[in-house]
Amino acid sequence: MIEIPIKTKEEIEIMARAGKILALILNEIKKEVKPGVILSFLNDKANELIKKNNVKPAFLGHEGYPATLCTSINDVVVHGLPNDYILKEGDILSLDIGIEYQGYFSDMAITLPIGKVDDEKARLIRVTKKALKRGIKKMTPWNTLGDVSNTMQRYIEKRGFAVIKELCGHGIGKDLHEPPEILNYGERKTGPALKEGMVLCIEPMVSMGNGKIKQNPDRFSFATQDGSVASHFEHTVLIVKDGARVLTE
């Protein structure tokens, strides 16, 4: 059986502070996102805000990743590099960022429309965000991880989109990635039972196409195989006595 760490009261206090700082940082980066902005500028902004808040970037150097912020454009699902690409009207952009604060990690992601996007891209973003919300609602001590995964999968697929099954969420704490792996699809009443004190990163990743992915030549980013547009949202969530508390808001 997978051993999922239970956090102490002191650890939870640190992680709650980390989550709040991270949410503020991402909110400031979000304000800079518009047509004409270069992805590398957003990474510079992330570095500036991390320094200002006296925290450390979680992704920089993690498994060789060369940046602080993941910037995934259109068909790129996750781990997009903040290069010299210039955002243009009609793009969609996923931002994923993590920090380390007093030895503990926090992680979150959002997807944003660039200027005016078509109705289907806007719907994809809404559905992914709502799937995350629904998954969080299921994160109670009387449910299993399978209940959470199944809820997200059913919501996404009923709306005609595909769950990206090859990538998943994770536990978090003293390490950026702790057990368990949290799939975005699954069967009800399967997997580990949720318990008070667990801290988990839940992150639906959704595509307009068939949901299959490939690794890009840059060795870090993953894109949809069919070139379809993808969306990604993530929160760091604490299981409490009567449900879930989002730490990254």
What average pLDDT does range 195-223 have in this prediction?
Answer: 98
User: Which residues fall within 8 angstroms of residue 155, CB to CB, at 6 or more apart?
Assistant: 127, 130, 131, 134
Mean pLDDT value across the chain = 97
How far is it, in rounded angstroms, from Cα 61 to Cα 65?
Answer: 5
Residue 2 belongs to some domain of the structure: no
| The pLDDT of residue 1 is above 90 | no
Q: How much is the pLDDT for 2?
A: 81
Q: Concatenated DSSP letters for 66-132?
A: --SEEEEETTEEE-----SPBP-TT-EEEEEEEEEETTEEEEEEEEEE-SS--HHHHHHHHHHHHHH
- pTM for the whole structure: 0.97
- Residues of the domain holding 40: 9-246
Residue 75 belongs to some domain of the structure: yes
Q: What is the pLDDT of residues 153-169, one digit of tens each?
A: 999 999 999 999 999 99
Query: Please, which pLDDT band fits residue 150 given cuts at 50, 70 and 90?
Result: very high
| The pLDDT of residue 175 is above 80 | yes
What average pLDDT does range 114-142 have in this prediction?
Answer: 97
How far is it, in rounded angstroms, from Cα 35 to Cα 42?
Answer: 12
Q: What is the pLDDT of residues 54-104, one digit of tens each?
A: 999 999 999 999 999 999 999 999 999 999 999 999 999 999 999 999 999
Residue 121 belongs to some domain of the structure: yes
Residue 4 belongs to some domain of the structure: no
Residue 1 belongs to some domain of the structure: no
Residue 207 belongs to some domain of the structure: yes
Query: Please, which pLDDT band fits residue 218 given cuts at 50, 70 and 90?
Result: very high
How far is it, in rounded angstroms, from Cα 6 to Cα 240?
Answer: 11
Total domain count, the chain: 1
B/e letters for 156-195, b = 16+ CB within 10 Å, e = fewer, are: beeeebbbbeebbbbbbbeebbbebebbbbbeeeebbebe
State both tokens at 55.
Answer: 């925290």
CATH number at residue 51: 3.90.230.10
User: Which residues fall within 8 angstroms of residue 214, CB to CB, at 6 or more apart?
Assistant: 222, 223, 224, 225
Strand-pairing partners, residue 111, are 94
Q: What is the pLDDT of residues 13-46, one digit of tens each?
A: 999 999 999 999 999 999 999 999 999 999 999 9
